[in-house]
Structure 1
Amino acid sequence: MDWGTAASVGRRLAKGGPKVTTYTWEQARAELVAAAATAEKPVREVTGLADGLAVPVAQALDRKEWVTAATSSMSAMLGEDGDSPTGLSAITARVGGVQAGGLLAVLSSAILGQYDPFSIDPVSGELGVLLLVTPNIIATERALHVVPQDFRLWVCLHEVTHRVQFSANPWLRDYMLDNIAVLTRDTGESSAEIIARLTAAVRSDRPREKGVLGMMQLLQTPEQYDAFTRMMMLGTLLEGHADHVMDAVGPDYVPSVERIREAFDQRRQRPQNPVQRLLRALMGMDAKLAQYIRGKAFVDEVVEKVGMSRFNTVWSNPHTLPRPDEIDEPQRWIDRVL
């Protein structure tokens, strides 16, 4: 993948965002950085994680800056930040870069915030950086008609929870990299072998997921799909835990949290036109939404039954993470792990 091309194409295609004055822009950036720092204390108190670690400074970016950060993170994550390919490989890599750049341009208008565990923080020099996409947060708070100061802190509560998850449990980053290595490994299959495997999978009575997940299940080898499933389960846990923390902390720190949550959930579930539905399916955005819903239900039930301290056993090692049959039946995880 030519990540330089991806960054260039993504920045060129990314939309500028809502119209704001320079004063409003700078004020929003400053408020977001301050909100991220404010969110650290309550998130640590509720989760019981990362106590005593330094509080890093978040980065408030525009859409083009986010594209640059995303390409840097993805190249590091995939181990492709070395020498550029040459010959035919260079052409293939550039085509891939154009595709990736177009996808990142679309996502640059949708991402509110992101914790990136694969990049170096330019201020602290440590691994991991918290990114907040300023124009998207401004556009969303305007669309929802919510109090900007409250909404900005609410978003930061979610993203800071991700930062705390990885800071308190550094093994999560290596676990992700190990699974990504399996997903991106050359299987050595010939075209005939791939077609034969796909044909057998289509004819098989083995249950398959729906939508993009089912497509991944067909296209990947069993080993790759197992790694993909492990990544999906981790993502479901991380997002559900962050949403749980948002709702646990929100009432004490965000005065209009009920209005924000109601408006935000309605926005997530609003009808989409056919083109939007197709894009969402191809990019896995519906699967991402399911992660929030299923993950939060899992965390809510476990914490209600055993408390946050015992729930935190989930962060011990890969074997204590929830399995696919446990996400929707949390008691199974409690019985196995606790």
Structure 2
Amino acid sequence: MSLEQNLRKARSAAIAASVFCAALSAYSVADAATVLKFSHTDNPGGSRQAAAEVFAEKVKTYTDGRYEIRIFPAGQLANDPKAIEQLQLGGIDFTVTATGSYATHLPALNLTAMPFLVDTYEQGWDFYDNSPWLQARFDELPSKGFRVLSTWEAGFRSFTTTMPLTSPADAAGKKMRVFPNDMIRWTMEAIGFQTVVMPITDVYLAIQQGTVNGQENPVDTIRSLRFYEVAPNITLTRHVYSPLPLTVAEKTWQKFSDADKEAVRKAAMEAAAFSRNLVRQSVDSQLDEMKAAGATVTKPEIGPFRDAVAPVYDKARGVYGDAVDEVLAEAAEVRKKFPAN
């Protein structure tokens, strides 16, 4: 074998060894990271997925790569109620869903879904960040198997229906999908709907097949899950403010060092700020996108809807007692602090 051939062979061996060492190094780093599962029901193009990606990247950065968060969108691992159950069991590590979804495990959280509590994002953010009543409820959740890290945004709930919805009179005899939350169900029934409880992952097909006549969710969710395609009448009642607490399994939380707990909290708060800004700034363009796709968007006279749901507060008092007026009083103070334009 010539000298040139020997040199070429040596160079090839060196390159192969270098590639192997790099691959081994990469494998070792990946193998050293603890993988954590994050489940949610938003589609990959939605704001929850975008915020989850921000959260995952920041956790990786702030823990020096010791933790890798793998995100499972669109209900791949579980619908919202099942995801919370999996948090309790330690089957997943993180989820993000509406406050009312957690109320199955702490019924008082139903009160955050009382109709027309707040009117603006600023009011909603202040209530969720500073309400003494709500923070005390959040403090109870670790005993249920999970804890709140921060509150992400979804926005205000409105309707998508197969028929026009100009007033509560149009709801008579119509079926409305609801998630398993008493306050939402009472509100829908007060407006005049018959309610049908089902997971959000089943809703598109249920509307398409005529099982229900519509659903109610924030604009971001309506657009992400494409409900406007099968229920093209979007009615902006904004009847409930519906943000998304990010939660971590308590079993997972207790495995973190104090430094890693602080890192995860920091990542959660920064992802929340990203989520809030993204959703608030996206509403108008999302509505325009859905209108361009054939949806009809209307802003009805809200007075008749407010009047229709007035009995819901008394119904809530019959179940939750003085807590109802405590929450209503705090919300009233928030509305004074941040008056709507």
Q: Please give the TM-score of this superposition, normalised by the length of structure 2.
A: 0.26
| Higher radius of gyration, 1 or 2 | 2
